[in-house]
């Protein structure tokens, strides 16, 4: 029997069954680095149309996490898929290097600048630390299989980048969008600096909740409002959760159009907004009261009340920000510590008090009980002061959402300070930004409405920070007037020339008299640095790619949803402030990584899985496949269990690829390729199916729906190939003559299929795709990553051919049922193999007329030794794979014949060829004759 084995075309390949990704991937990386794969791609595609995906800079601090992996892998998938679609896709990574996290780490190690260490040395330590972090993260990103210009990445701390940022600032100053204001901003007591909106996050906080009374200075004032004799004192009620702001209280606001009730209690009157009376009375435990009068809010304007524990008067002012959802309908106004308070105070010429320092301590001479004390720990002291004056009606605690510093996770406050702002509210920036975003393709679509609402409610942008590590604001202001030097634009141009050579840190060493030749003593040098979001928002204007002469540049931004407040917003505002077009044509947002229980991954919780852990256990391609398999527009769940499931899908793709490679081991395309018109019909059909699926896959890549691509590839490998085509062609591939049309047709189809699959998976499974590519016979190109989608052969004249006929779907449906019956017989040990059986198929006349053209070839489809088809008039056939309406009848019985030792099919002894009486006719023909003939399968 061994000599028969030598007559078979059994599969051969060195492509390993097991991926061993953790071992193989580093070797592939070395090869990519040796040949400089990124530059090879750039050189090959330099004249093609541009697709530019602009990198949102990650922060240079700490090891990369799953969020980083999701972000970079998605970008890489898009870039590689666009390369396959014929684009030139340069990609230069950028790192965000300035800011508080790095500063905070250096402070912990070496102390506070100017106290324990000089500022110059402190900045050098920050720079060195950032550079180490960049190198570490870069190595990890490369390990993920990310193709990028790793040799020439960009840093926000490079002189080139810093000068570009300051150049943009100069343009904004020229366009008169910058002003200095003294008003409340988000202030972190730990950072001792203002915070951008994007640096604020909300967490639950327990706060004191009190209702207290403010006494009117004189009842006679009320006679002008209500002509009634009032014999008891009158109080207005205030509810607050921030007692610490009461020392800065300078007015009481009511809504001009709300109705307020004057209510008589036992020995005093109170004023409460009408809709809130019941709720207030319940809280202060009053069950009986008398409404004396109802007053419209605007009539209370300028009525004066006494501060509950400080010796001054507070006027009633009118404001539309007062609401009737909760509280008492009256709000105490502290202009330093709330944006609404500030705005309304400015309207009434109420001055800012400035009674709290940068660390959150009261200054001296406020009240002896709270002088130099922390504001939050003073809440109880202030409540006791109110209580001692018999003005406290209610005291409790509430848990509510409260702003926190995203770095320190500590509660922040609004604090009025002198800061630099970009004018957004009273300029065309907001209006133009809202108009511009209509031109953007938002993925997902809700991004548009989210950004629009954020823009509508967007206040002026505070771009100054009171820290050490960052790009300075290189301007001079008049000591008395606070105005910019009249030659500011020219001064910044001078400074830019120096910064281009030495970096922005040279600003701290520049002497005023060297820049301002006249009256330099009248001006102060700015000690503030720029908001890091201003820096990252300027990346759009950085000349990274030298593509000024290129046309049709498609620009995409891709980040997490937190960047709507961050980089997406800052880039948009800066583009409008410097009169540039919107920086992105497409904006794609991905979700956050969650653990198996749906909780956001966090070091503090201890529920993280790091990319390096996954790579060490599974390999980078498994991580990449997981990213591609998720609907990334939502938050995505990752766990070891999910990764094992992803590994199963990976094996399906790998095993299918291995089978195809093993069966084209001796196939030389230039010699053996069969023209489409001469191919066996089943081979034409599978090429047509491949073409149909490829069109869908390309469209899905264009629409960034990667999880649907993975589903289609897995289905194609498992169903169209694994359960149908590859199952059927084994006999033809193994048993026909080596150089027969039957075999070469089959190999031609498999050659096209593997060339298609390897391209489909290239953006996702980059390591595995490259490995497969190396095993393909006679490639025209040694570099897979410069390839484009495969042009599959097709003959337009055959549009109505059987390759498009639904008969294949019907056969697939029948085959599925046949397999079930045979498996049952195997289980019952009635047969060992499907080839032991003879099958009779009872069908209607229409299907009978179609199937009879297959003649003896039907048995190869169903993998049995004999097929008989019979018209069964009593059965109404309506085979519909979607509705699973399978109205046909199958009979399977054991075939009474002889097993061919070569092909394992069963045959009777009436064979024509007698060269080898042990073999069936087919095997005799294939070995000794001119080979068997087939048309369909």
Q: Report the binding-site residues for ATP.
A: 603
**CA 853 – CA 45 distance, rounded (Å):** 49
Q: Residue 372, exposed/middle/buried by CB under 10 A (0-12, 13-18, 19+)?
A: exposed
Nearest to 157 by CA among 588, 487, 529: 529
Helix then strand count (H, E) for the chain reads 29, 32
CB atoms within 10 A of CB 549: 5
Q: Locate 846 and state its tokens.
A: 């229409």
**Nearest 5°: phi and psi at 180?**
-105, 130
User: Is residue 141 a contact partner of residue 93, using CB atoms and an 8 Å limit?
Assistant: yes
**CA 485 – CA 476 distance, rounded (Å):** 6
**CA 90 – CA 52 distance, rounded (Å):** 6
Residues at the binding site for L-isoleucyl-5'-AMP are 559
User: Is residue 274 a contact partner of residue 239, using CB atoms and an 8 Å limit?
Assistant: no
Q: Locate 494 and state its tokens.
A: 């001078």
Nearest to 54 by CA among 443, 584, 547: 584
Indicate the helix (H) or strand (E) that contains 48: none
| Beta-bridge partners for 87 | 49
Residues at the binding site are 559, 603, 900, 903, 920, 923
Q: Is 846 helix (H, G, I), strand (E, B) or coil?
A: helix
Q: What is the largest CA-CA distance in the chain?
A: 131
Instruction: State the pairing for strand pair 234-240/636-637.
Output: unpaired
Q: Locate 937 and state its tokens.
A: 């399968």
Length of the chain counted residue by residue: 937
User: Is residue 863 a contact partner of residue 727, using CB atoms and an 8 Å limit?
Assistant: yes
Instruction: State the pairing for strand pair 313-318/304-306.
Output: antiparallel
Residues at the binding site for Zn(2+) are 900, 903, 920, 923
Q: Locate 138 and state its tokens.
A: 């870069």
Q: Locate 276 and state its tokens.
A: 């809130």
**CA 146 – CA 542 distance, rounded (Å):** 22
**CA 57 – CA 536 distance, rounded (Å):** 7
**CA 769 – CA 760 distance, rounded (Å):** 9
CB atoms within 10 A of CB 765: 29
| Beta-bridge partners for 870 | 842
């Amino acid at each position: 029997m061994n000599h028969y084995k030598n007559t078979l075309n059994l599969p051969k390949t060195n492509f390993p069954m097991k991926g061993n990704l953790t071992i193989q991937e580093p070797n592939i990386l070395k090869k990519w680095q040796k040949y400089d794969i990124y530059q090879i791609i750039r050189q090959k595609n330099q004249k093609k149309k541009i697709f530019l995906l602009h990198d949102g800079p990650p922060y240079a601090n700490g090891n990369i996490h799953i969020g980083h992996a999701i972000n970079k892998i998605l970008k890489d998938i898009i870039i590689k898929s666009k390369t396959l679609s014929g684009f030139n896709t340069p990609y230069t990574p950028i790192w965000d290097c300035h800011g508080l996290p790095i500063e905070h780490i250096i402070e912990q190690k070496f102390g506070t600048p100017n106290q324990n260490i000089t500022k110059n040395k402190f900045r050098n330590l920050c720079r060195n630390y950032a550079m180490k972090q960049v190198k570490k993260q870069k190595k990890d990103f490369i390990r993920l299989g990310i193709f990028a210009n790793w040799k020439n990445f960009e840093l926000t701390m490079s002189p080139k980048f810093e000068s570009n940022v300051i150049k943009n600032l100069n343009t904004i100053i020229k366009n008169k969008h910058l002003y200095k204001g003294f008003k409340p901003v988000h202030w972190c007591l730990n950072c001792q600096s203002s915070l951008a909106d994007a640096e604020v996050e909300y967490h639950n906080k327990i706060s004191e909740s009190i209702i207290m009374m403010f006494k009117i200075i004189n009842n006679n004032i009320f006679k002008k409002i209500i002509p009634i004799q009032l014999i008891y004192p009158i109080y207005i009620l205030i509810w607050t959760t921030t007692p610490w702001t009461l020392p800065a209280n300078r007015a009481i606001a009511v809504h001009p159009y709300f109705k307020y009730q004057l209510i008589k209690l036992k020995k005093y009157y109170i004023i409460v907004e009408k809709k809130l009376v019941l709720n207030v009375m319940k809280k202060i435990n009053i069950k009986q009261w008398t409404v004396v009068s109802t007053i419209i809010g605007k009539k209370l304007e300028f009525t004066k009340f006494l501060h509950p524990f400080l010796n001054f008067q507070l006027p009633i002012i009118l404001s539309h920000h007062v609401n009737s959802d909760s509280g008492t309908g009256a709000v105490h106004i502290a202009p330093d510590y709330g944006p609404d308070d500030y705005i309304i105070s400015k309207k009434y010429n109420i001055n800012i008090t400035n009674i709290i320092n940068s660390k959150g301590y009261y200054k001296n001479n406020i009240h002896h009980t709270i002088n130099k004390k922390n504001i939050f720990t003073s809440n109880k002291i202030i409540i006791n002061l109110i209580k001692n004056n018999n003005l406290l009606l209610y005291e409790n605690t509430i848990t509510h959402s409260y702003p926190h510093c995203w770095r320190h996770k500590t509660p922040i406050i609004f604090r009025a300070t002198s800061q630099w702002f970009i004018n957004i509210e009273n300029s065309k920036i907001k209006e133009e930004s809202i108009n511009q975003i209509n031109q953007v393709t938002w993925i997902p679509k809700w991004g548009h409405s989210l950004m629009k609402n954020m823009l509508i409610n967007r206040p002026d942008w505070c771009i100054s920070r009171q820290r050490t590590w960052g790009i300075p604001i290189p301007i001079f202001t008049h000591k008395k007037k606070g105005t910019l030097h009249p030659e500011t634009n020219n001064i910044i141009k001078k400074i830019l020339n120096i910064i281009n050579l030495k970096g922005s840190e040279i600003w701290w060493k520049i002497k005023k008299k060297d820049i301002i030749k006249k009256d330099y003593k009248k001006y102060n040098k700015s000690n503030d640095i720029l908001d890091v979001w201003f820096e990252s928002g300027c990346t759009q204007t950085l000349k990274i790619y030298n593509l000024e002469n290129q046309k049709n540049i498609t620009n995409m931004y891709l980040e997490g949803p937190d960047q709507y407040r961050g980089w997406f917003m800052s880039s948009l505002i800066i583009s409008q402030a410097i009169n540039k077009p919107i920086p992105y044509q497409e904006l794609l947002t991905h979700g956050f990584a969650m653990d198996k229980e749906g909780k956001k991954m966090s070091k503090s919780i201890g529920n993280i899985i790091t990319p390096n852990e996954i790579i060490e256990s599974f390999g980078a391609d498994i991580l990449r496949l997981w990213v591609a398999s998720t609907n990334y527009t939502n938050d995505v769940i990752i766990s070891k269990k999910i990764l094992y499931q992803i590994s199963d899908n990976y094996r399906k793709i790998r095993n299918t690829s291995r089978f195809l490679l093993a069966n084209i081991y001796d196939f030389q395309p230039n010699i053996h390729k069969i023209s489409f018109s001469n191919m066996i019909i089943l081979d034409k059909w599978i090429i047509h199916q491949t073409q149909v699926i490829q069109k869908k896959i390309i469209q899905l890549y264009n629409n960034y729906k990667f999880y649907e691509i993975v589903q289609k590839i897995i289905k194609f490998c498992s169903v169209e190939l694994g359960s149908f085509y590859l199952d059927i062609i084994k006999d033809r591939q193994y048993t026909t003559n080596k150089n027969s049309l039957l075999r070469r047709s089959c190999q031609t189809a498999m050659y096209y299929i593997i060339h298609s699959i390897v391209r489909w998976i290239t953006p996702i499974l980059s390591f595995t795709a490259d490995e497969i590519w190396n095993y393909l016979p006679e490639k025209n190109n040694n570099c897979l990553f410069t390839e484009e989608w495969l042009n599959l052969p097709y003959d337009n004249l055959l549009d109505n051919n059987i390759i498009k006929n639904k008969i294949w779907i019907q056969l697939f449906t029948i085959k599925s049922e046949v397999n079930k019956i045979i498996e049952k017989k195997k289980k019952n040990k009635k047969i060992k193999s499907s080839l032991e059986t003879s099958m009779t198929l009872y069908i209607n006349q229409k299907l009978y007329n179609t199937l009879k053209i297959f003649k003896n070839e039907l048995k190869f489809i169903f993998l049995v030794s004999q097929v008989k088809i019979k018209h069964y008039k009593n059965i109404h056939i309506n085979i519909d794979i979607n509705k699973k309406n399978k109205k046909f009848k199958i009979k399977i019985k054991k075939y009474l014949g002889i097993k061919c030792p070569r092909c394992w099919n069963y045959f009777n002894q009436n064979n024509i060829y007698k060269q080898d009486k042990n073999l069936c006719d087919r095997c005799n023909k294939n070995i000794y004759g001119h080979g068997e003939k087939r048309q369909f399968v």
